[in-house]
Every structure is written in C-alpha cells, then in structure tokens.
Amino acid sequence: MKNPPVSNPGITDASVESATAGLFRQAVSSGRDKLNDAELQALLAGLGIAFDAKSASAGAADIRISLNSTREFGMVISAGLGGLEAELDEGNFRRDRASVYAAAALTDAADFLGLFKRTLAWQKLAAVARRAGASSPDAALEACFARLLALAKAFAPGNSAAPFVLQALELNPVQADGALTVRGAECAFGAPLPGRLPRPIAKIDKLIHPKSIGIIGVSGSGMNFGRIILRNLMGSGYPKEQLFILKPGEAEIDGVKCVEGLKSLPAKLDLLIVAVAASAVYELVDEIIASDAVEAVMLIPGSLGETKKSREPAAALAARINAAHGQPGGGPIFLGANCLGVVSHPGAYDSWFIPLERLPKPKKKPLRNSVMLSQSGAFMITRLSQNPWLDPAYMLALGNQTDLTHGDMLSYFAALPGIETLGIYIEGFKDLDGLAFAKAVRKAVLNGKQIVVYKSGRTAPGQGGVMGHTASIAGGLTLFESVVRHAGAIVAEDFNGFDDLFYIAGALQGKKVGGRRIGAISGAGFEAVGMADNIESDSFALEMGALEEATVKKIEEILVAKKLDQLVEVRNPIDINPGADDEAHLQISEAFLQDPNIDAVVVGLDPTAPSVRALVESKLRPGHDISDPKSTVHLMPPIVERNDKPLIGIVDGGTLYDAMAAGLMDRGVCVFRNCARGTKALVRYVEARLNADSLQRRRPGGTDF
C-alpha cells in the first residue's frame, strides 16, 4: 500500500536542518558518506514528502528532482524527465524541454516552478492530471521545491556554519497523484572545504583608473613586450610623468623615468605591470606583497599553471596571493597571469602588447558605455578588429584568474555607473566562482544592465584546448547555459552570435522593448520572407504584428506618392518592390514603428536597388549616392533617434556597400549585413529584455548578493 502524503505543519527549516545533520552524523558514525534507505525515508518524511519504493500508480508520469553541489555554481536544483526517460541525452531535446536548472541561491519555489513548467515532464504531469480529473500538481511541486531549497541553503558549499555539504540528493522517479510520491532516492554528503578569501574588488578602480603606473620588463635596446606596452601607454595618452619603469641602472627609456625597484618609488603605485619571464614571477610576487608598494598588479607572462610542470608552483603562488587578502587592507589585487592587459578609455591608457598600428581603436560611439571581459586576449582583439563599433569603454583580459575572477570583475562592473552592456568570454570558473558570477549577472540585470556571455569548451576537444590555454576547467555546457540564462544573461552559441548580441545590446539598450510583435519590410521578396522565417529560437518566438487600419491607410498613401500602389500589397511582412527609393523604405518603416501593434521593425535597405542611394559615388547617376541628403545614411538616423522602438537596418550586399553600412553605424543606427543574422539577434535580444523586465518586477527570493 502506498504511504500517505506526509503532512506536518510543525515542520520548520530549522527542524529539517537539525534532523538532516543528525542523519548525516549517524551515517558518518557507520563509516558512510551516503544515507541508507531508512535514513532516506526519515529525511524525506522530515521534508514532508512521501516515500514508497515498492508501488507505483498506473499511468502516472515519472519526473526527477535533484539537488547537486557543483564545483562552479555551488548548490543547483534541477528537475525534468524521470525514470527511463531521464537517461535520454538532453541533446535530443530543445532548450529547457528535458530538464531545467537554477542556482539554489538565485531562485525560490514559485520561480523554479515557473521554469519547470517549460519542460515536457511538467506537461506530462499536467496531462495525466487532466485525464484523471485530478487537481493540478503545482501546489505539491511548489511545496517540494521550497523544502529542497531550504535544505540546499542549509548545506551549501560556502556556508561556513554548515557541518556538512550536501553533495547530491536525487529523487527519481517521482510521481504526482494529488501529492508527490518518491519511488527512488539517493543522498550523498561530505565535509565542507575551505574557500578562497574574498578579493578586495574595490581596488579594481585602481586597476582601471590608475593615477600612477609602473612597468617591470621594459627593454632599453629592443622592442620586447614591455617596451610595446610602454609605447602603447604613451600612445594612448597616458601622462609620462605618471609612469615609472622599474629597471636598475637606467635613468630613462623613451623619456620615462626609471627607478631601481619597488623601494625606490616616490609613492605607492596604483598599478604595476609585470612583463617579465614566467620564471621570474614567483619571487617577484612575494616581493610585491611584502613591500605593500602596489594596489593592483597586471601579470602578463604566460605558462603559469598552463603546463604540467608549472601547475604546482602556480597553485602555491595563488595560495600566497590569497593569504595576502587576509592582511589589513586586503593586499594587492592581481590580474592574470597569461594576460593581454587592459584598455581603459576612461583611465586614458592602453596596456595591450599589440602595437597600435595593428589595432587602432577609433572612437565609434558618442558615449562609450560597455565593457568587454575575456579570458582570452585574442578573442577581444579579433572581435574589435572585425567590429570596431563594439567600442567598449573598458576591455580587460583575465587570463588564468590567479587572483581576480569572472565573478569579481562582474561584481565590480555590475555596480559601476555609466556602464550599460557587458560582453564576456569565459573558458572556465574557479571553485564556486560560477555562483558569484551568476549573482553578479542578476545584480547587473536588476540594475538595468545587459550581459552577453559566450562559454567556450563546448565539446570534449574544446575543453582540452581550454585547459591548455589559460589553465581553466570547462564545466558542463547545459548547466552553465541554464544557470546563467536564468540569472538574466544572454548566452551566445558561437562567435558570430556573441558579436551580434553584444552589438545589438549596445545599439538598442536605450530603446523600449514592449513585446514580441515585429514588422518586416524589404524591397526584396526573399528578404521579407527570410525575416519571417527567422523569428523563432529554441526557447522563444517573435510574431508578425497585425497592422492597424490607420497604418495600412498611411502606407497606401506613401505607395501612391511613390507610384508603387499598383505593385505592392500592404501587409506584414511587406515586399515594397525594388523600385522603392530611400524615402519609401524609411517612411514605411516609421509608419510601422508608430503602429501600437508593432514592437520592433526590421527593414531591408536594398542597397543594390537602382533607386536607393547606396554607393560612395554613382557614375550612372552622379550625386545619387550616400552623400545625397535624401540618402538612407542621412535620413535614417533621425528616425532612429525620434522613435523609442527598435529599428534594425539590413544592408545585404558586398564591399561596394561597406561605406553605406559604416555611415549608418557611425550615426548610431543598428545595422546587420544579412536579414537572418539581424532577425535572429533580435529574437534573442527581445527574449532577454522581456526576461530582464520580468526579473525586475518579480525579484525572486533567495537573491542574496
């Protein structure tokens, strides 16, 4: 006979915590780190959950509910298909259909139930209940999630008061028949491990806005990395009088004063850049810590912790840096090692060791308001080289995170005024730093910022490459994507996706995203259809808005004036014919924007059409080019500025039309070079913006930043 549902109004989080700790102690006394069946039944009874391993309800749906202590994100709650179906590869399902995950510290029972409702598992539960005429399982699920989340909080890694860490609690299968009944369960636990000391992240201000910079490793005769960095510092406008080269026996190099060493500095340095051989770093770091002469340090050398031979000494070095954070004042912070450096436009310096002639950084935005953080410096170089319109205010390479981590950096920038968008490339997290990062994502989103993330190591060979590059540990991709998306980030699936999402987020941050209804306009039939064909992703879909009658009439009047009324039918998406000129495209776009049933507009600007002023110089029709005041380059920016809805232009053409696209982008218009990429980016962006709006309204419990 099935056990009756346990109902005990006297159950409290404190009583569950105490009883669970007692069960763990009992298991330890028997030499076990797992609970036996009797202990499991007692644990679940304390949580108010029935346990019966022998019987099952005919026709019931099996689900799985789990708590797991993960290295990156601490305690994670997950739920999804159970029984035999739980063994199916999640790659067989669209995103959020097989299982959902969330960091326990960033969710509550109602919030996680909302996530679970996206899955096939919940749909099966609901269908079985409807067929049986039974009540919805939602109340029982929410109560179960609430108890599990309380347990997760009490025995989470990083909880210094917890006598044990809950390693895993899996309930599988679980059936819902009015109440929840667990038919199988496993529970493992362990002793808590010491964590890293918190880094004094307020000193990141010294790193990115230094009033004084010292450099170790500058050659007086050749052009080594240290000398290139020195040239870049001066070339980016950093004052020579605030620079110091630490080099015994030299008076000056390139007009910059040299000093004998740390003890010879006239005052405490805000930033010290270390560009010496990796073998010299270990002793030098000890000297830096002991001297208390530096607030922030940039470690340029590679190979620290990236080879088998260097891992043990690199770990010892990280431990010494960590110990220094326990001293009064917190000791210096360290960026790197294997670090390209920092570009800080507000701090007026560029310390990258890429010569400025190979990567100029012209100002492309009226106001630089974004940040790029990356473990790989080359990732930032290629992104910026290919799309200078990203134009971040700050670009920082984290390298192998010997000290400062992704979580530290994002925690700092999440609260920094004037920063609206952050693009982040991640190879791996230090222990529990994924949780710190996810909390910082949530904090940033609640502060109105946008976070775009790309995680490398998406395959087994890719994970091996990550380990060899910056000594990072690449965690599970599904877990990463689920937790970080739930926190509020936009997660890119590839490099192009990162470029597109970081760009569109920066271009549209100030625009109102009121819903998912879009308008699509083009003079090319394939393009109008292509926009409509790309309005869905795995987890979200836009829809074509229904134009109001007043909008239809307005567009018909435009078509009559342009002598296109006999060629074009007004609808959405609309093919306005290759005979449409610049004004026709843009007047119809603005009519769409002003329709209350449209939330965003994508317009193909048809650069190859004869009537469009798209060339730098037209030989066939002199003056009919982008310099004409009636060209799209001149007409579109004011339309973008005076409308609060997103307007995206598509310039699908070859290099002849680069100047048209660049002219629009220079004036703040969001432009893509084909309709599929532009529309797909808009889908992901609208999904993220609507999710951010929901988070800001709801602010789910457990968000202890």
Residue 168: give its domain's CATH number.
3.30.470.20
Q: Which of 336, 268, 60, 331 is nearest to 180 (CA)?
A: 60
| Residues spanned by the domain of 492 | 201-507
The residue assigned the tokens 């496993």 is 186
Looking at residue 96, what is its pLDDT?
81
Residues 530 and 603 in one domain: yes
Of the listed ranges 453-457, 547-551, 556-560, the one predicted with least confidence: 453-457
Residues 82 and 172 in one domain: yes
Looking at residue 262, what is its pLDDT?
96
Residues 151 and 272 in one domain: no
Confidence of residue 11 (pLDDT cuts 50, 70, 90): low
Q: List C-alpha distances in Å: 388 to 346, 362, 449.
A: 17, 8, 21
What is the H or E stretch that residue 77 is in?
Answer: strand 74-81
390 domain-assigned: yes
Strands 269-274 and 294-299: parallel
Residues 526 and 670 in one domain: yes
Residues 659 and 627 in one domain: yes
The 3-state secondary structure of 523-585, one letter per residue: CCHHHHHHHHHCCECCCCECEECCCCHHHHHHHHHHHHHCCCCCCCCCCCCEECCCCCCHHHH
**What is the amino acid identity at position 696?**
Q
Last residue in a domain, options 190, 225, 257: 190
Confidence of residue 246 (pLDDT cuts 50, 70, 90): very high
Q: How many domains does the chain have?
A: 3
Looking at residue 486, what is its pLDDT?
95
Confidence of residue 9 (pLDDT cuts 50, 70, 90): very low
Confidence of residue 474 (pLDDT cuts 50, 70, 90): very low
Residues 273 and 292 in one domain: yes
253-272: average pLDDT: 96
Looking at residue 114, what is its pLDDT?
95
pLDDT digits (tens, 9 = 90+) for 34-89: 999 999 999 999 888 888 877 666 667 899 999 999 999 999 999 998 877 777 76
Looking at residue 470, what is its pLDDT?
45
Confidence (pTM): 0.93
Residues 525 and 493 in one domain: no
Residues 307 and 170 in one domain: no
pLDDT digits (tens, 9 = 90+) for 327-368: 999 999 999 999 999 999 999 999 998 988 999 999 999 999
The residue assigned the tokens 């007026």 is 348
Q: Which two tokens stand for residue 206?
A: 């010294």
Last residue in a domain, options 190, 220, 236: 190
Looking at residue 4, what is its pLDDT?
39
385-407: average pLDDT: 96
596 SS3 class: coil
What is the Cα–Cα distance from 586 to 285, expressed in whole angstroms? 60
Of the listed ranges 2-16, 215-229, 618-632, 652-666, the one predicted with least confidence: 2-16
Looking at residue 140, what is its pLDDT?
92
Contact of 483 with 399, CB cutoff 8 Å: no
Contact of 78 with 103, CB cutoff 8 Å: no
- What's the CATH number where 236 sits? 3.40.50.261
132-141: average pLDDT: 88
Contact of 258 with 252, CB cutoff 8 Å: yes
24 domain-assigned: yes
462 domain-assigned: yes
Of the listed ranges 59-68, 259-268, 674-683, the one predicted with least confidence: 59-68
Confidence of residue 7 (pLDDT cuts 50, 70, 90): very low
pLDDT digits (tens, 9 = 90+) for 90-112: 667 778 888 999 999 999 999 99
Residues 489 and 392 in one domain: yes
Burial of 534 (0-12, 13-18, 19+ CB in 10 A): buried
682 domain-assigned: yes
536 domain-assigned: yes
Counting residues of the chain whose pLDDT is more than 90, the rounded percentage is 80
What is the Cα–Cα distance from 262 to 271, expressed in whole angstroms? 12
367 domain-assigned: yes
Looking at residue 459, what is its pLDDT?
53
Last residue in a domain, options 476, 507, 538: 507
pLDDT at 391 over 80: yes
Residues 391 and 539 in one domain: no
266 domain-assigned: yes
Looking at residue 458, what is its pLDDT?
59
Residues 536 and 593 in one domain: yes
Looking at residue 471, what is its pLDDT?
43
699 domain-assigned: no
Residues 406 and 296 in one domain: yes
Looking at residue 307, what is its pLDDT?
80
Q: Which two tokens stand for residue 442?
A: 């949530």
As a whole number of Å, the CA-based R_g of the chain is 29
Look over the chain and give the mean of its residue pLDDT values, rounded to a whole number.
Answer: 91
